[in-house]
């Protein structure tokens, strides 16, 4: 019995198949590929890029021993079975990198492959021996001839003469020096690399990239209430002016019929007075729900005309997708099972204490017919997609299951791949990131509340850190109908100008809510972020004539003209000696921009901005302010700056050739 036990244990140790792993049937590759970038959650989620981007990839690649490695990137768009290849090169010890270009929107796959270059390994070993003065290389030269004979078997006719001459020289030449020189000829190394004999090849796990159209990353948004502009026809009339100002996306708050039951009054009053229009987010009435339009805004034909005019001006019309219903929404009678009921049978209205939304009911994603609910919501999105809408701002997605959004976005893009989804999710970091990984193209951020140089620098550096930058794209809205920051309330017009400058130059995507250009900053009560006489609950007559619009138009023009402002992770914060100033450089396309802003809207501030080396700038250069054309003399190192908020919010500087 003891002998049997001992034999069993020995069998396990030897891997002979008794209770333990057996020897692999196929020899494992000795090469390890680790720490791939970009890679989100170990490849379980997709990174994000836009069509036309050059995707930089890297990995740690190594093996036992001293053999020379080679590698390549394999990549392909969705629907293609054949891989394309791009070379990998060693950028640091054991670190390899390369790039490829994604040309079309959709899901792209890539992986890395690496192998031992037997001829290069032999050549490198021979070279080291000769450098060390070891001249007895007979065996090595014969080994080299054998390797070249292997290459000859797969060589095209153009390469065969060179290989045959080298083989003959290595095998038969009398002079050792002649044989060694022939072995080390660069042409042989080039032929070997091109023929690509891949010994011990290893392949990394496949990674995926969600490639979207460039507007998913770069765009200037203008948010408005259509009812304040004369409905669809009134908004359409403003489109040429909005296009001239450089806006790429016109975002409409909900355009659907508004419920009467529980309707809110002016300034969020719990009861509406006669004539109060209600909040557009209280969606649904006997006239229809999420696929109907409020009759006072116009007809579906009017909406179609608005979308067509916007498209002609290269503007996207973005719709608000709010997954909620008023008490008068048709779904309450057609699908009562989709709503949460308390034990006494009453519906649970929406609330986020201390806020109470008595005019809104949430849908119950835990209901028995959750599949029917998911499909109905997808049908809503596809209804508007069929009418030409390709951008959706999603209201509070963090209060719905992430799995639902992943399914809905993938389903919508299967029909319209160019569709963009913006997540309005002011929530915890893990949920914000989970929504981005689920497919949201962009995300609202906490930019609105970051107002000091330290806060802004820390926050932007968090967003640009790897791997977050590979899947989360921020949209820096300066304000929203729900967010009037204390900085704007107390800072006056200079605060509006500097926040606009920051949003437009820090983030490729930013937005303003109408009224911002008119410096609207009266809160409902002290300390509140709600607007007094909020447009959410009453009719307002709007016109596009605010005093901040010239700066808006100039910044949007600068953004379109300079690639550095169309990217997010190219920012380098500069050291500033002096309080209240923030300075950063953005570099792309062979150009460097330097932005300096005075974050104190009340007081002129001065200080020294230190420009480091490594930004592609000359030791001394003329710096033109793109905002007004003034030219200053700057240099690497220390540069004095003084900014008076009453005169200018900051500088946007570029080196003059």
DSSP code for 601: S
424 belongs to the catalytic site: yes
Same fold, 118-196 and 215-469: no
Percent of the chain, pLDDT > 90?
78
What does DSSP assign to residue 474?
E
| pLDDT band, very low/low/confident/very high, at 9 (cuts 50, 70, 90) | very low
CB 180 within 8 A of CB 137: yes
Per-residue pLDDT at 6 = 38
Range of lowest pLDDT (131-145, 517-531, 614-628): 131-145
Mean pLDDT (whole number) for 246-253: 98
**Contact residues for 42 (Cβ-Cβ < 8 A; gap 6+):** 205
Indicate the CATH number for domain 215-469: 3.20.20.80
pLDDT at 376 over 50: yes
Q: Candidates 2.60.40.10, 3.40.50.10610, 2.40.40.20, 1.10.10.10; correct CATH number of 31-113+205-211?
A: 2.60.40.10
Element housing 487 (H / E):
helix 486-506
pTM of the model: 0.92
Q: How far apart are CA 496 and CA 512, in angstroms?
A: 10
**Of the listed 140, 159, 359, 395, which one is catalytic?**
395
pLDDT band at 141 (very low <50, low <70, confident <90, very high): confident
pLDDT band at 358 (very low <50, low <70, confident <90, very high): confident
Say if residues 217 and 566 touch (Cβ distance below 8 Å): yes
In this predicted structure, the answer to whether residue 14 has a pLDDT above a threshold of 70 is: no
Predicted confidence (pLDDT) at residue 16 exceeds the cutoff of 80: no
Higher pLDDT, 138 or 572: 572
Mean of the per-residue pLDDT values of the chain = 93
pLDDT above 90 for 465: no
Active site residue 395: yes
Return the pLDDT at 198. 87
Task: Please tell me the predicted confidence (pLDDT) of residue 3.
Answer: 42
Architecture, CATH, for domain 118-196: Up-down Bundle (1.20)
Catalytic one of 210, 212, 248, 424:
424
The region of weakest confidence among 374-378, 477-481, 566-570, 607-611 is 566-570
Q: How confident is the model at residue 11 (pLDDT cuts 50, 70, 90)?
A: very low
Number of other residues whose CB lies within 10 A of the CB of residue 275: 8
Residue 350 — pLDDT band, cuts 50, 70, 90?
Answer: low
Best-predicted range by mean pLDDT (90-94, 133-137, 473-477): 473-477
Q: Which residues contact 153 (CB under 8 A, 6 or more apart)?
A: none
Residues making up the chain, counted from first to last: 657
| pLDDT tier at 1, thresholds 50, 70, 90 | very low
Which range has the worst mean pLDDT, 43-52, 120-129, 549-558?
120-129
Task: Give the Cα separation of 496 and 645 in Å (integer).
Answer: 10
Tell me what percent of the residues of the chain surpass a pLDDT of 70: 96
Question: pLDDT per residue over 402-435, tens digit each?
Answer: 999 999 999 999 999 999 999 999 888 899 999 9
- 220 CB neighbour count, 10 Å cutoff: 22
pLDDT of 116 higher than 70:
yes
- Residue 47: CA count within 13 A, CB half-sphere: 24
Write the CATH number of the domain with boundaries 571-656: 2.60.40.1180
> How do residues 631-655 score in pLDDT, each as one tens digit?
999 999 999 999 999 999 999 999 9
Sign of the Cα torsion 341, 342, 348, 353 reads negative
Domain ranges, ordered by start, for the chain: 31-113+205-211, 118-196, 215-469, 571-656
| Average pLDDT of span 359-386 | 96
Paired tokens of 325: 């219903």
DSSP labels, 52-119: T-EEEEEEEEEESSS--EEEEEEEEETT--SPEEEE-EEEETTEEEEEEE--SSEEEEEEEEEEE-HH
- Checking if the pLDDT of 480 tops 80, the result is yes
């Amino acid at each position: 019995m003891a002998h049997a036990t001992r034999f069993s244990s020995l069998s396990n140790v030897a891997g002979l198949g008794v209770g333990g792993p057996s020897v692999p049937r196929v020899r494992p590759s000795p090469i390890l590929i680790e720490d791939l970038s970009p890679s989100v959650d170990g490849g379980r989620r997709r990174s994000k890029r836009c069509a036309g981007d050059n995707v930089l990839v890297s990995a740690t690649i190594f093996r036992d021993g001293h053999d020379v490695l080679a590698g390549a990137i394999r990549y392909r768009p969705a629907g293609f079975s054949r891989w394309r290849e791009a070379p990998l090169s060693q950028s640091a010890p054991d670190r390899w990198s390369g790039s490829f270009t994604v040309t079309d929107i959709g899901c792209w796959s890539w992986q890395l492959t690496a192998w031992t270059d037997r001829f290069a390994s032999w050549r490198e070993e021979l070279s080291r021996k000769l450098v060390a003065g070891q001249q007895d290389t007979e065996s090595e030269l014969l080994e080299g001839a054998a390797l070249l004979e292997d290459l000859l078997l797969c060589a095209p006719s153009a390469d065969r003469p060179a290989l045959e001459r080298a083989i003959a020289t290595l095998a038969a030449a009398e002079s050792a020096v002649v044989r060694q020189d022939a072995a080390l000829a660069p042409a042989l190394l080039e032929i070997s690399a091109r023929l690509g004999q891949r010994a011990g090849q290893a392949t990394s796990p496949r990674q995926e990239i969600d490639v979207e159209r460039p507007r998913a990353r770069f765009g200037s948004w203008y948010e408005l209430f259509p009812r304040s502009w004369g409905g669809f026809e009134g908004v359409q009339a403003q489109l040429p002016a909005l296009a001239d100002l450089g806006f790429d996306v016109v975002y409409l708050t909900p355009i659907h019929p508004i419920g009467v039951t529980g309707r809110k009054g002016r300034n969020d009053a719990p009861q509406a007075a006669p004539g109060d229009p209600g909040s557009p987010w209280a969606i649904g009435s006997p006239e229809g729900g999420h696929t109907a339009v409020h009759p006072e805004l116009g007809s579906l034909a009017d909406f179609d005309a608005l979308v067509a005019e916007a498209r002609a001006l290269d503007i996207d019309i973005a719709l608000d997708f709010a997954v909620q219903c008023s008490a008068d929404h048709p779904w309450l009678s057609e699908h009562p099972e989709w709503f949460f009921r308390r034990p006494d049978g009453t519906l649970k209205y929406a609330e986020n204490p201390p806020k109470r939304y008595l005019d809104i009911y949430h849908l119950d994603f835990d209901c028995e017919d959750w599949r029917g609910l998911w499909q109905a919501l997808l049908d809503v999105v596809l209804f508007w997609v069929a009418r030409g809408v390709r951008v959706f701002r999603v209201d509070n997605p963090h209060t719905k299951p992430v799995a639902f959004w992943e399914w809905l976005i993938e389903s919508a893009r299967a029909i319209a791949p160019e569709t963009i989804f913006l997540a309005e999710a002011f929530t915890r970091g893990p949920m914000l990131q989970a929504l981005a990984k689920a497919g949201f193209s962009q995300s609202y951020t906490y930019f609105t509340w970051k107002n000091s140089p330290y806060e802004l620098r820390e926050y932007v550096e968090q967003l640009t850190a790897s791997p977050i930058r590979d899947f989360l794209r921020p949209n820096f809205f300066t304000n929203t109908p729900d967010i009037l920051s204390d900085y704007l309330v107390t800072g006056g017009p200079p605060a509006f100008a500097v926040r606009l400058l920051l949003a437009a130059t820090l983030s490729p995507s930013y937005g303003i809510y109408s009224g911002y250009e008119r410096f609207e900053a009266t809160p409902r009560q002290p300390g509140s972020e709600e607007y007094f006489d909020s447009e959410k609950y009453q009719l307002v007559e709007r016109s596009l004539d605010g005093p901040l619009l010239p700066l808006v138009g100039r910044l949007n023009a600068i953004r379109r003209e300079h690639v550095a402002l169309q990217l997010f992770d190219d920012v380098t914060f500069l050291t500033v000696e002096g309080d209240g100033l923030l300075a950063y450089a953005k570099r792309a396309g062979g150009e460097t921009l330097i932005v300096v802003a005075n974050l104190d809207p009340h007081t002129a501030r001065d200080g020294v901005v230190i420009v480091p080396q490594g930004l592609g700038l000359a030791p001394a250069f003329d710096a033109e302010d793109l905002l007004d054309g003034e030219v200053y003399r700057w240099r690497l190192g220390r540069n004095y700056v003084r900014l008076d908020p009453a005169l200018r919010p900051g500088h946007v500087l570029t080196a003059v050739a």
